[in-house]
Structure 1
Protein backbone atom coordinates (compact mmCIF):
# COMPACT_ATOMS: atom_id res chain seq x y z
CA UNK A 1 0.00 0.00 0.00
CA UNK A 2 2.84 2.40 0.82
CA UNK A 3 4.40 1.79 -2.63
CA UNK A 4 1.02 2.39 -4.27
CA UNK A 5 0.69 5.70 -2.42
CA UNK A 6 4.16 6.71 -3.51
CA UNK A 7 3.29 6.04 -7.19
CA UNK A 8 0.04 8.00 -6.79
CA UNK A 9 1.87 11.01 -5.29
CA UNK A 10 4.58 10.86 -7.96
CA UNK A 11 1.97 10.73 -10.71
CA UNK A 12 0.14 13.69 -9.22
CA UNK A 13 3.38 15.69 -9.04
CA UNK A 14 4.20 14.93 -12.69
CA UNK A 15 0.67 15.91 -13.77
CA UNK A 16 0.95 19.16 -11.81
CA UNK A 17 4.29 19.93 -13.48
CA UNK A 18 2.81 19.55 -16.97
CA UNK A 19 -0.24 21.60 -16.00
CA UNK A 20 1.95 24.43 -14.72
CA UNK A 21 4.11 24.21 -17.83
CA UNK A 22 1.04 24.62 -20.02
CA UNK A 23 -0.08 27.54 -17.89
CA UNK A 24 3.32 29.18 -18.32
CA UNK A 25 3.26 28.53 -22.05
CA UNK A 26 -0.14 30.20 -22.33
CA UNK A 27 1.13 33.29 -20.52
CA UNK A 28 4.07 33.52 -22.91
CA UNK A 29 1.75 33.31 -25.92
CA UNK A 30 -0.40 36.11 -24.49
CA UNK A 31 2.73 38.28 -24.25
CA UNK A 32 3.38 37.65 -27.96
CA UNK A 33 -0.25 38.55 -28.67
CA UNK A 34 0.16 41.83 -26.86
CA UNK A 35 3.26 42.67 -28.91
CA UNK A 36 1.33 42.18 -32.15
CA UNK A 37 -1.69 44.02 -30.76
CA UNK A 38 0.42 47.00 -29.79
CA UNK A 39 2.34 47.00 -33.09
CA UNK A 40 -0.88 46.93 -35.13
CA UNK A 41 -2.38 49.82 -33.14
CA UNK A 42 0.83 51.88 -33.48
CA UNK A 43 0.88 51.28 -37.24
CA UNK A 44 -2.73 52.44 -37.64
CA UNK A 45 -2.03 55.47 -35.46
CA UNK A 46 1.01 56.48 -37.53
CA UNK A 47 -0.82 56.06 -40.85
CA UNK A 48 -3.72 58.24 -39.67
CA UNK A 49 -1.29 60.81 -38.26
CA UNK A 50 0.51 61.09 -41.59
CA UNK A 51 -2.79 61.50 -43.45
CA UNK A 52 -3.55 64.44 -41.16
CA UNK A 53 -0.11 65.81 -42.06
CA UNK A 54 -1.02 65.61 -45.74
CA UNK A 55 -4.25 67.49 -45.01
CA UNK A 56 -2.32 70.11 -43.04
CA UNK A 57 0.26 70.69 -45.76
CA UNK A 58 -2.28 70.88 -48.59
CA UNK A 59 -4.60 73.22 -46.66
CA UNK A 60 -1.85 75.59 -45.56
CA UNK A 61 -0.44 75.84 -49.07
CA UNK A 62 -3.75 76.24 -50.97
CA UNK A 63 -3.40 72.75 -52.41
CA UNK A 64 -6.43 71.05 -50.86
CA UNK A 65 -8.95 72.44 -53.36
CA UNK A 66 -9.29 75.26 -55.87
CA UNK A 67 -11.55 77.10 -53.41
CA UNK A 68 -10.05 79.92 -51.37
CA UNK A 69 -8.75 78.29 -48.23
CA UNK A 70 -8.70 79.30 -44.60
CA UNK A 71 -5.71 81.16 -43.21
CA UNK A 72 -5.92 79.06 -40.05
CA UNK A 73 -2.60 77.37 -39.25
CA UNK A 74 -2.79 73.68 -38.42
CA UNK A 75 0.74 72.39 -38.63
CA UNK A 76 3.15 72.06 -35.65
CA UNK A 77 5.21 75.23 -35.49
CA UNK A 78 8.33 73.21 -34.64
CA UNK A 79 8.30 71.52 -38.07
CA UNK A 80 9.74 73.10 -41.21
CA UNK A 81 7.75 72.76 -44.44
CA UNK A 82 9.26 73.53 -47.86
CA UNK A 83 7.79 73.10 -51.34
CA UNK A 84 9.56 72.67 -54.66
CA UNK A 85 7.15 75.01 -56.51
CA UNK A 86 4.93 77.40 -54.57
CA UNK A 87 3.06 78.65 -57.67
CA UNK A 88 -0.70 78.29 -56.98
CA UNK A 89 -2.41 75.66 -59.11
CA UNK A 90 0.83 74.17 -60.45
CA UNK A 91 1.26 70.41 -59.96
CA UNK A 92 2.87 68.13 -59.12
CA UNK A 93 4.02 69.67 -55.86
CA UNK A 94 6.56 68.08 -53.53
CA UNK A 95 6.41 69.12 -49.89
CA UNK A 96 9.23 68.28 -47.49
CA UNK A 97 8.21 68.21 -43.84
CA UNK A 98 11.22 68.22 -41.53
CA UNK A 99 10.59 67.53 -37.84
CA UNK A 100 14.29 67.88 -37.02
CA UNK A 101 15.70 66.02 -34.05
CA UNK A 102 12.38 66.28 -32.23
CA UNK A 103 9.10 68.17 -32.66
CA UNK A 104 6.57 67.88 -29.83
CA UNK A 105 2.98 68.89 -30.59
CA UNK A 106 -0.29 67.80 -28.93
CA UNK A 107 1.59 65.21 -26.91
CA UNK A 108 3.14 63.55 -29.97
CA UNK A 109 6.88 63.70 -30.56
CA UNK A 110 8.09 63.28 -34.13
CA UNK A 111 11.52 63.49 -35.73
CA UNK A 112 12.94 62.96 -39.18
CA UNK A 113 11.41 63.80 -42.55
CA UNK A 114 8.31 62.91 -44.53
CA UNK A 115 7.92 63.88 -48.18
CA UNK A 116 4.44 64.50 -49.57
CA UNK A 117 3.82 64.63 -53.32
CA UNK A 118 0.50 65.86 -54.78
CA UNK A 119 -0.41 65.38 -58.44
CA UNK A 120 -3.41 67.76 -58.17
CA UNK A 121 -5.62 69.41 -55.57
CA UNK A 122 -6.10 66.78 -52.86
CA UNK A 123 -9.91 67.10 -53.02
CA UNK A 124 -10.02 66.52 -56.79
CA UNK A 125 -10.97 63.11 -58.13
CA UNK A 126 -7.92 61.40 -59.62
CA UNK A 127 -5.40 63.20 -57.41
CA UNK A 128 -2.66 61.00 -55.99
CA UNK A 129 -0.94 61.89 -52.72
CA UNK A 130 2.24 59.95 -51.96
CA UNK A 131 3.77 60.01 -48.48
CA UNK A 132 7.35 58.78 -48.02
CA UNK A 133 9.26 58.55 -44.74
CA UNK A 134 12.96 59.15 -44.14
CA UNK A 135 14.53 58.39 -40.75
CA UNK A 136 11.08 59.17 -39.38
CA UNK A 137 10.06 58.49 -35.76
CA UNK A 138 6.75 58.83 -33.93
CA UNK A 139 7.06 58.81 -30.13
CA UNK A 140 10.42 57.06 -30.44
CA UNK A 141 9.18 54.34 -32.81
CA UNK A 142 10.69 54.29 -36.30
CA UNK A 143 8.12 54.20 -39.11
CA UNK A 144 9.12 53.35 -42.68
CA UNK A 145 7.35 52.73 -45.96
CA UNK A 146 5.32 54.51 -48.63
CA UNK A 147 1.64 55.43 -48.38
CA UNK A 148 -0.33 56.28 -51.53
CA UNK A 149 -3.76 57.93 -51.45
CA UNK A 150 -5.75 58.01 -54.68
CA UNK A 151 -8.86 60.21 -54.79
CA UNK A 152 -11.77 58.11 -56.13
CA UNK A 153 -14.55 60.58 -55.29
CA UNK A 154 -17.77 60.19 -57.28
CA UNK A 155 -19.94 62.40 -55.05
CA UNK A 156 -18.27 65.75 -54.19
CA UNK A 157 -20.17 65.78 -50.88
CA UNK A 158 -18.42 62.56 -49.82
CA UNK A 159 -14.70 62.73 -50.75
CA UNK A 160 -13.17 59.27 -50.91
CA UNK A 161 -9.64 57.84 -51.25
CA UNK A 162 -8.03 54.43 -51.50
CA UNK A 163 -4.95 54.11 -49.28
CA UNK A 164 -2.21 51.63 -50.16
CA UNK A 165 0.73 51.01 -47.83
CA UNK A 166 3.84 49.27 -49.18
CA UNK A 167 7.22 48.35 -47.68
CA UNK A 168 5.98 49.39 -44.25
CA UNK A 169 8.15 48.71 -41.22
CA UNK A 170 7.78 49.55 -37.54
CA UNK A 171 10.71 49.38 -35.12
CA UNK A 172 9.48 49.50 -31.53
CA UNK A 173 11.13 51.07 -28.49
CA UNK A 174 12.64 47.68 -27.64
CA UNK A 175 14.06 47.19 -31.15
CA UNK A 176 11.46 44.64 -32.30
CA UNK A 177 10.68 44.90 -36.02
CA UNK A 178 7.29 44.45 -37.69
CA UNK A 179 6.58 44.75 -41.41
CA UNK A 180 3.17 45.78 -42.75
CA UNK A 181 1.24 46.42 -45.94
CA UNK A 182 -2.34 46.66 -47.20
CA UNK A 183 -5.10 48.69 -48.80
CA UNK A 184 -8.05 50.50 -47.25
CA UNK A 185 -10.80 52.88 -48.39
CA UNK A 186 -11.26 56.21 -46.57
CA UNK A 187 -14.08 58.73 -46.93
CA UNK A 188 -14.89 62.10 -45.38
CA UNK A 189 -18.26 62.25 -43.63
CA UNK A 190 -18.28 65.72 -42.02
CA UNK A 191 -16.80 69.17 -42.62
CA UNK A 192 -16.90 68.93 -46.42
CA UNK A 193 -18.48 72.35 -46.97
CA UNK A 194 -16.44 74.35 -44.45
CA UNK A 195 -13.09 76.08 -44.93
CA UNK A 196 -11.48 74.69 -41.77
CA UNK A 197 -10.15 71.23 -41.00
CA UNK A 198 -11.22 71.19 -37.36
CA UNK A 199 -14.69 69.79 -38.01
CA UNK A 200 -13.60 67.12 -40.51
CA UNK A 201 -14.45 63.50 -39.73
CA UNK A 202 -13.14 60.53 -41.71
CA UNK A 203 -14.24 56.90 -41.87
CA UNK A 204 -11.95 54.04 -42.80
CA UNK A 205 -14.55 51.88 -44.52
CA UNK A 206 -13.01 48.64 -45.66
CA UNK A 207 -9.83 46.82 -46.55
CA UNK A 208 -7.17 44.45 -45.22
CA UNK A 209 -3.76 44.89 -43.65
CA UNK A 210 -1.10 42.34 -42.80
CA UNK A 211 1.50 42.65 -40.04
CA UNK A 212 4.47 40.26 -39.82
CA UNK A 213 7.44 39.82 -37.52
CA UNK A 214 10.83 38.19 -38.16
CA UNK A 215 10.10 35.04 -36.12
CA UNK A 216 7.29 34.13 -38.50
CA UNK A 217 4.21 35.15 -36.51
CA UNK A 218 1.72 37.11 -38.58
CA UNK A 219 -1.55 39.00 -38.36
CA UNK A 220 -4.31 39.73 -40.88
CA UNK A 221 -6.46 42.74 -40.03
CA UNK A 222 -9.94 43.25 -41.51
CA UNK A 223 -12.38 46.08 -40.79
CA UNK A 224 -15.60 44.92 -39.10
CA UNK A 225 -17.20 48.32 -38.49
CA UNK A 226 -15.77 51.56 -39.96
CA UNK A 227 -12.96 53.26 -38.04
CA UNK A 228 -13.82 56.85 -37.08
CA UNK A 229 -11.01 59.41 -37.19
CA UNK A 230 -11.82 62.99 -36.26
CA UNK A 231 -9.32 65.55 -37.49
CA UNK A 232 -9.56 67.26 -34.09
CA UNK A 233 -8.46 64.03 -32.33
CA UNK A 234 -5.03 62.43 -32.70
CA UNK A 235 -6.46 58.93 -32.35
CA UNK A 236 -9.00 56.61 -33.95
CA UNK A 237 -11.99 56.98 -31.62
CA UNK A 238 -14.43 54.30 -32.78
CA UNK A 239 -14.67 51.16 -34.90
CA UNK A 240 -13.73 47.49 -34.80
CA UNK A 241 -11.10 45.31 -36.46
CA UNK A 242 -11.05 41.54 -36.82
CA UNK A 243 -7.57 40.22 -35.96
CA UNK A 244 -6.56 36.77 -37.21
CA UNK A 245 -3.02 35.57 -36.71
CA UNK A 246 -0.63 33.01 -35.36
CA UNK A 247 -1.69 33.73 -31.77
CA UNK A 248 -4.60 36.13 -32.29
CA UNK A 249 -8.27 35.46 -32.98
CA UNK A 250 -10.59 38.25 -31.87
CA UNK A 251 -11.86 41.82 -32.12
CA UNK A 252 -10.00 45.08 -31.50
CA UNK A 253 -12.48 47.78 -30.43
CA UNK A 254 -11.48 51.45 -30.55
CA UNK A 255 -14.31 52.62 -28.27
CA UNK A 256 -17.33 54.92 -28.30
CA UNK A 257 -15.97 58.10 -30.02
CA UNK A 258 -14.10 59.23 -26.87
CA UNK A 259 -10.83 60.88 -27.90
CA UNK A 260 -8.15 58.81 -26.14
CA UNK A 261 -5.28 56.45 -26.89
CA UNK A 262 -7.04 53.37 -25.54
CA UNK A 263 -8.59 50.32 -27.22
CA UNK A 264 -9.64 46.85 -26.07
CA UNK A 265 -9.00 43.45 -27.61
CA UNK A 266 -11.42 40.57 -26.95
CA UNK A 267 -10.01 37.15 -27.75
CA UNK A 268 -12.23 34.33 -29.02
CA UNK A 269 -12.11 32.71 -25.57
CA UNK A 270 -13.58 35.87 -23.99
CA UNK A 271 -10.35 37.20 -22.47
CA UNK A 272 -10.08 40.99 -22.69
CA UNK A 273 -6.83 42.97 -23.00
CA UNK A 274 -6.26 46.73 -22.87
CA UNK A 275 -4.24 48.25 -25.72
CA UNK A 276 -2.50 51.62 -25.41
CA UNK A 277 -0.90 53.61 -28.22
Structure 2
Protein backbone atom coordinates (compact mmCIF):
# COMPACT_ATOMS: atom_id res chain seq x y z
CA UNK A 1 0.00 0.00 0.00
CA UNK A 2 2.88 2.39 0.76
CA UNK A 3 4.07 2.29 -2.83
CA UNK A 4 0.59 3.06 -4.07
CA UNK A 5 0.26 6.02 -1.72
CA UNK A 6 3.61 7.47 -2.76
CA UNK A 7 2.62 7.05 -6.40
CA UNK A 8 -0.40 9.29 -6.10
CA UNK A 9 1.26 11.84 -3.83
CA UNK A 10 4.10 12.18 -6.32
CA UNK A 11 2.04 12.24 -9.49
CA UNK A 12 -0.37 14.79 -8.03
CA UNK A 13 2.53 17.16 -7.41
CA UNK A 14 4.88 16.62 -10.32
CA UNK A 15 3.69 13.72 -12.51
CA UNK A 16 7.13 12.12 -12.26
CA UNK A 17 10.22 12.37 -10.06
CA UNK A 18 13.72 11.43 -11.21
CA UNK A 19 15.59 9.67 -8.42
CA UNK A 20 18.70 8.85 -10.40
CA UNK A 21 20.03 8.13 -13.86
CA UNK A 22 22.83 5.78 -14.81
CA UNK A 23 24.69 8.46 -16.80
CA UNK A 24 24.30 11.93 -18.30
CA UNK A 25 23.27 10.71 -21.71
CA UNK A 26 21.27 13.14 -23.85
CA UNK A 27 18.29 10.80 -23.52
CA UNK A 28 17.53 12.75 -20.33
CA UNK A 29 16.87 15.88 -22.39
CA UNK A 30 15.45 14.17 -25.49
CA UNK A 31 12.95 11.86 -23.82
CA UNK A 32 9.79 13.06 -22.11
CA UNK A 33 9.12 10.28 -19.62
CA UNK A 34 6.18 11.94 -17.92
CA UNK A 35 3.95 9.65 -19.99
CA UNK A 36 5.62 6.68 -18.25
CA UNK A 37 4.74 8.14 -14.85
CA UNK A 38 1.19 8.79 -16.05
CA UNK A 39 0.87 5.25 -17.42
CA UNK A 40 1.98 3.74 -14.11
CA UNK A 41 -0.44 6.02 -12.24
CA UNK A 42 -3.29 5.02 -14.59
CA UNK A 43 -2.54 1.34 -14.15
CA UNK A 44 -2.36 1.80 -10.38
CA UNK A 45 -5.72 3.59 -10.37
CA UNK A 46 -7.29 0.83 -12.46
CA UNK A 47 -5.93 -1.77 -10.06
CA UNK A 48 -7.17 0.22 -7.06
CA UNK A 49 -10.67 0.41 -8.45
CA UNK A 50 -10.77 -3.29 -9.38
CA UNK A 51 -9.49 -4.13 -5.88
CA UNK A 52 -12.20 -1.91 -4.40
CA UNK A 53 -14.78 -3.69 -6.54
CA UNK A 54 -13.59 -7.12 -5.40
CA UNK A 55 -13.65 -6.02 -1.76
CA UNK A 56 -17.14 -4.54 -1.91
CA UNK A 57 -18.69 -7.41 -3.88
CA UNK A 58 -16.90 -10.36 -2.28
CA UNK A 59 -19.18 -13.17 -1.06
CA UNK A 60 -20.05 -13.21 2.63
CA UNK A 61 -20.64 -16.71 4.00
CA UNK A 62 -22.72 -15.60 6.96
CA UNK A 63 -24.76 -12.50 6.15
CA UNK A 64 -26.57 -11.01 3.21
CA UNK A 65 -25.78 -7.57 1.86
CA UNK A 66 -28.10 -4.77 2.95
CA UNK A 67 -29.15 -1.77 0.88
CA UNK A 68 -26.56 0.33 2.72
CA UNK A 69 -23.62 -1.52 4.19
CA UNK A 70 -20.20 -0.50 5.60
CA UNK A 71 -17.09 -2.27 4.33
CA UNK A 72 -13.83 -2.23 6.25
CA UNK A 73 -11.23 -0.12 4.43
CA UNK A 74 -13.83 1.73 2.33
CA UNK A 75 -14.79 5.24 3.52
CA UNK A 76 -17.56 5.71 0.95
CA UNK A 77 -21.28 5.32 1.53
CA UNK A 78 -22.22 2.08 -0.22
CA UNK A 79 -25.67 1.42 -1.63
CA UNK A 80 -26.58 -2.00 -3.03
CA UNK A 81 -29.55 -2.74 -5.28
CA UNK A 82 -31.26 -5.14 -5.08
CA UNK A 83 -30.53 -5.98 -1.45
CA UNK A 84 -30.97 -9.72 -1.97
CA UNK A 85 -28.40 -11.94 -3.67
CA UNK A 86 -29.90 -11.66 -7.14
CA UNK A 87 -28.25 -10.42 -10.32
CA UNK A 88 -27.50 -8.09 -11.90
CA UNK A 89 -26.56 -6.11 -8.76
CA UNK A 90 -25.46 -2.50 -8.67
CA UNK A 91 -23.14 -1.16 -5.98
CA UNK A 92 -22.83 2.63 -5.76
CA UNK A 93 -19.88 3.94 -3.79
CA UNK A 94 -20.35 7.61 -2.93
CA UNK A 95 -17.20 9.30 -1.62
CA UNK A 96 -18.91 12.70 -1.52
CA UNK A 97 -18.15 15.96 -3.29
CA UNK A 98 -15.56 16.94 -0.69
CA UNK A 99 -14.14 13.42 -0.50
CA UNK A 100 -13.08 11.07 2.24
CA UNK A 101 -9.62 9.81 3.12
CA UNK A 102 -8.35 6.32 3.83
CA UNK A 103 -4.64 5.33 3.93
CA UNK A 104 -3.67 8.87 2.80
CA UNK A 105 -5.76 8.52 -0.35
CA UNK A 106 -8.58 11.03 -0.74
CA UNK A 107 -11.30 9.96 -3.15
CA UNK A 108 -14.15 12.12 -4.38
CA UNK A 109 -17.17 11.37 -6.53
CA UNK A 110 -18.70 7.98 -7.20
CA UNK A 111 -17.92 4.51 -8.44
CA UNK A 112 -20.81 2.55 -9.94
CA UNK A 113 -20.09 -1.18 -9.93
CA UNK A 114 -22.41 -3.54 -11.80
CA UNK A 115 -22.06 -7.28 -11.26
CA UNK A 116 -23.78 -9.77 -13.58
CA UNK A 117 -23.04 -12.69 -11.26
CA UNK A 118 -20.49 -13.85 -8.66
CA UNK A 119 -17.12 -12.72 -10.00
CA UNK A 120 -15.68 -16.19 -9.27
CA UNK A 121 -18.14 -17.71 -11.77
CA UNK A 122 -17.04 -18.15 -15.39
CA UNK A 123 -18.80 -15.62 -17.60
CA UNK A 124 -19.59 -13.11 -14.84
CA UNK A 125 -18.62 -9.51 -15.44
CA UNK A 126 -17.89 -6.63 -13.08
CA UNK A 127 -18.23 -3.22 -14.74
CA UNK A 128 -16.81 -0.18 -12.96
CA UNK A 129 -17.92 3.29 -14.05
CA UNK A 130 -16.34 6.49 -12.71
CA UNK A 131 -18.65 9.45 -12.04
CA UNK A 132 -16.99 12.82 -11.24
CA UNK A 133 -14.33 10.67 -9.62
CA UNK A 134 -10.83 11.55 -8.42
CA UNK A 135 -8.02 10.19 -6.25
CA UNK A 136 -5.73 12.76 -4.60
CA UNK A 137 -6.69 15.45 -7.14
CA UNK A 138 -6.14 13.13 -10.10
CA UNK A 139 -9.39 13.13 -12.05
CA UNK A 140 -10.15 9.70 -13.50
CA UNK A 141 -12.65 8.81 -16.19
CA UNK A 142 -13.59 5.73 -18.18
CA UNK A 143 -14.97 2.24 -17.71
CA UNK A 144 -13.29 -0.97 -16.53
CA UNK A 145 -14.76 -4.34 -17.47
CA UNK A 146 -13.49 -7.30 -15.44
CA UNK A 147 -14.79 -10.54 -16.97
CA UNK A 148 -14.27 -14.08 -15.67
CA UNK A 149 -12.86 -16.25 -18.49
CA UNK A 150 -11.81 -19.26 -16.36
CA UNK A 151 -11.50 -22.60 -18.14
CA UNK A 152 -9.50 -24.48 -15.47
CA UNK A 153 -11.07 -24.14 -11.98
CA UNK A 154 -7.69 -24.30 -10.21
CA UNK A 155 -6.40 -21.34 -12.24
CA UNK A 156 -9.08 -18.61 -12.23
CA UNK A 157 -8.58 -15.93 -14.85
CA UNK A 158 -10.18 -12.70 -16.03
CA UNK A 159 -9.83 -10.11 -18.75
CA UNK A 160 -9.50 -6.47 -17.71
CA UNK A 161 -10.65 -4.08 -20.42
CA UNK A 162 -10.37 -0.31 -20.10
CA UNK A 163 -12.31 1.96 -22.45
CA UNK A 164 -12.47 5.76 -22.71
CA UNK A 165 -9.91 6.05 -19.93
CA UNK A 166 -8.61 9.50 -19.04
CA UNK A 167 -6.38 10.96 -16.32
CA UNK A 168 -6.23 14.70 -15.67
CA UNK A 169 -3.49 15.71 -13.25
CA UNK A 170 -3.49 18.63 -10.80
CA UNK A 171 -1.85 20.88 -13.40
CA UNK A 172 -4.51 20.15 -16.02
CA UNK A 173 -2.44 17.81 -18.18
CA UNK A 174 -4.58 15.14 -19.81
CA UNK A 175 -3.63 11.54 -20.64
CA UNK A 176 -6.01 9.12 -22.37
CA UNK A 177 -5.81 5.35 -22.13
CA UNK A 178 -7.29 2.08 -23.32
CA UNK A 179 -6.16 -1.51 -23.00
CA UNK A 180 -6.88 -5.19 -22.54
CA UNK A 181 -5.06 -7.58 -20.18
CA UNK A 182 -5.33 -11.19 -19.06
CA UNK A 183 -5.22 -11.69 -15.29
CA UNK A 184 -4.68 -15.07 -13.61
CA UNK A 185 -4.92 -15.90 -9.91
CA UNK A 186 -1.89 -17.88 -8.77
CA UNK A 187 -2.44 -18.01 -4.98
CA UNK A 188 -5.36 -17.87 -2.56
CA UNK A 189 -7.71 -19.95 -4.71
CA UNK A 190 -8.48 -22.30 -1.81
CA UNK A 191 -9.67 -19.45 0.45
CA UNK A 192 -12.48 -17.78 -1.53
CA UNK A 193 -13.72 -15.70 1.42
CA UNK A 194 -10.26 -14.27 2.11
CA UNK A 195 -8.69 -11.74 -0.27
CA UNK A 196 -5.44 -10.85 1.50
CA UNK A 197 -3.66 -14.05 0.42
CA UNK A 198 -4.59 -13.65 -3.25
CA UNK A 199 -1.82 -13.21 -5.81
CA UNK A 200 -2.55 -12.28 -9.41
CA UNK A 201 -0.40 -12.30 -12.53
CA UNK A 202 -1.03 -10.23 -15.64
CA UNK A 203 0.33 -12.65 -18.20
CA UNK A 204 -0.33 -10.71 -21.38
CA UNK A 205 -1.84 -7.53 -22.69
CA UNK A 206 -1.26 -4.02 -23.95
CA UNK A 207 -2.40 -0.56 -23.00
CA UNK A 208 -1.97 2.68 -24.92
CA UNK A 209 -1.51 6.09 -23.32
CA UNK A 210 -2.10 9.25 -25.32
CA UNK A 211 -0.82 12.73 -24.41
CA UNK A 212 -2.45 16.09 -25.02
CA UNK A 213 0.37 16.84 -27.48
CA UNK A 214 -0.77 14.01 -29.73
CA UNK A 215 1.87 11.47 -28.74
CA UNK A 216 1.14 7.87 -27.87
CA UNK A 217 2.90 5.36 -25.68
CA UNK A 218 2.29 1.62 -26.01
CA UNK A 219 3.06 -0.60 -23.02
CA UNK A 220 3.07 -4.37 -23.58
CA UNK A 221 3.57 -7.10 -20.97
CA UNK A 222 7.06 -8.53 -21.50
CA UNK A 223 7.29 -10.64 -18.35
CA UNK A 224 4.23 -11.49 -16.24
CA UNK A 225 3.35 -8.70 -13.83
CA UNK A 226 2.81 -9.94 -10.27
CA UNK A 227 0.17 -8.18 -8.16
CA UNK A 228 -0.40 -9.23 -4.56
CA UNK A 229 -3.82 -8.22 -3.26
CA UNK A 230 -2.20 -7.14 0.01
CA UNK A 231 0.33 -4.99 -1.86
CA UNK A 232 -2.12 -3.34 -4.25
CA UNK A 233 0.67 -2.68 -6.74
CA UNK A 234 2.76 -4.50 -9.31
CA UNK A 235 5.74 -5.88 -7.38
CA UNK A 236 7.47 -7.84 -10.13
CA UNK A 237 7.54 -8.10 -13.92
CA UNK A 238 8.37 -6.03 -16.97
CA UNK A 239 6.60 -3.85 -19.52
CA UNK A 240 7.93 -3.08 -22.98
CA UNK A 241 7.59 0.64 -23.74
CA UNK A 242 7.43 2.16 -27.22
CA UNK A 243 6.38 5.58 -28.46
CA UNK A 244 8.05 8.75 -29.69
CA UNK A 245 11.61 8.85 -28.37
CA UNK A 246 10.87 6.08 -25.89
CA UNK A 247 11.92 2.52 -26.56
CA UNK A 248 12.77 0.49 -23.50
CA UNK A 249 11.59 -1.55 -20.53
CA UNK A 250 9.90 -0.79 -17.21
CA UNK A 251 11.05 -3.18 -14.47
CA UNK A 252 8.95 -3.39 -11.30
CA UNK A 253 11.62 -5.12 -9.25
CA UNK A 254 11.98 -8.28 -7.17
CA UNK A 255 8.50 -8.80 -5.74
CA UNK A 256 8.75 -6.19 -2.98
CA UNK A 257 6.18 -3.43 -2.34
CA UNK A 258 8.73 -0.63 -2.40
CA UNK A 259 8.49 2.87 -3.87
CA UNK A 260 10.91 2.47 -6.77
CA UNK A 261 10.84 1.04 -10.30
CA UNK A 262 13.19 1.49 -13.25
CA UNK A 263 12.94 2.42 -16.91
CA UNK A 264 15.84 1.24 -19.09
CA UNK A 265 16.19 2.95 -22.46
CA UNK A 266 17.27 1.01 -25.56
CA UNK A 267 20.79 2.45 -25.36
CA UNK A 268 21.26 1.17 -21.82
CA UNK A 269 20.48 4.38 -19.93
CA UNK A 270 18.66 3.50 -16.70
CA UNK A 271 16.22 5.84 -14.98
CA UNK A 272 15.34 4.97 -11.39
CA UNK A 273 11.92 6.48 -10.86
CA UNK A 274 10.45 7.26 -7.45
CA UNK A 275 6.79 7.25 -6.48
Report if aligned partners of 1:98, 1:114 keep a CA contact under 8 Å in 2: yes
Equivalent in 144, 153, 158 of residue 156 of structure 1: 153
Aligned to 1:260: 258
For residue 49 of structure 1, what is the aligned residue in structure 2?
48
Which of 91, 110, 114 matches 1:113?
110
Q: Deviation at 1:75?
A: 3.9
| Structure-2 residue corresponding to 1:8 | none
Per-residue deviation, residues 210-265 of structure 1 (Å, max 9, x unmatched): 11112111101100111111111132111100000012100001111111232110
Partner Cα separation in structure 2 for residue 99 and residue 249 of structure 1: 39
Say yes or no: does 1:125 pair with 2:126.
no
**Residue in 2 that maps onto 1:12:** none
Residue 97 (structure 1) aligns with: 93
- SS, match of residue 43 in structure 1: helix
Give TM-score, length-normalised by structure 1.
0.83
What do the CA deviations read for 1:47-96 (whole angstroms, capped 9, x no partner)? Answer: 1111101110111x64xxxxx2699x8642421111111102x0000000
In 2, the alpha carbon distance for the partners of 1:208 and 1:247 equals: 19
Q: Which residue of 2 aligns with 1:11?
A: none
Structure 1 position 270, deviation (Å): 1.3
Question: Please, which of 192, 202, 205 is the counterpart of residue 204 of structure 1?
Answer: 202
TM-score normalized by the length of structure 2 = 0.83
The count of residues paired between Structure 1 and Structure 2 equals 245
4+ runs of 1 displaced by more than 3 Å? 23-28
* Cα distance change of structure 1 residues 25 and 228 upon mapping to structure 2, 3 Å threshold: closer
- RMSD (Å) for aligned C-alpha atoms: 2.1
Rounded to whole Å, the distance in 2 between the matches of 1:251 and 1:69 is 46
In the alignment, which residue of structure 2 is the partner of 1:138? 135
Counterparts in 2 of 1:24 and 1:198: CA distance versus 1, 3 Å: closer
Q: 1:274 to 1:250 in 2, by over 3 A?
A: same
Alignment of 1:1-277 (within 5 A): 27-30=28-31, 32-33=32-33, 35-59=34-58, 62=60, 68=61, 75-88=72-85, 90-100=86-96, 101-194=98-191, 195-277=193-275
User: How far 1:98 moved relative to its partner?
Assistant: 1.4
Offset at 1:27?
4.4
SS, match of residue 54 in structure 2: helix
Unaligned runs of 5+ in 1: 1-22, 63-67
Partners of 1:235 and 1:261 within 8 A in 2: no
> Could you say if the C-alpha distance between residues 173 and 275 of structure 1 is closer, same or farther in structure 2, counting changes exceeding 3 Å?
farther
Q: Secondary structure at the match of 2:166?
A: strand
Kept after mapping to 1: 8 A contact 2:201/2:224: yes
Give the superposition deviation at 1:271. 1.3
In structure 2, C-alpha distance between the alignment counterparts of 1:138 and 1:109, rounded to whole Å? 6
Name the structure 2 match of 1:18: none
Aligned mates of 1:26, 1:204 — CA distance in 2 = 30
Q: Is the 8 A contact 2:25 2:269 kept in 1?
A: no
- 2:177 counterpart SS class: strand
Q: With CA pairs under 8 Å and 6+ residues apart, which has the higher RCO, 1 or 2?
A: 2
Q: State the match for 1:16 in structure 2.
A: none
SS in 2 for 1:224: strand
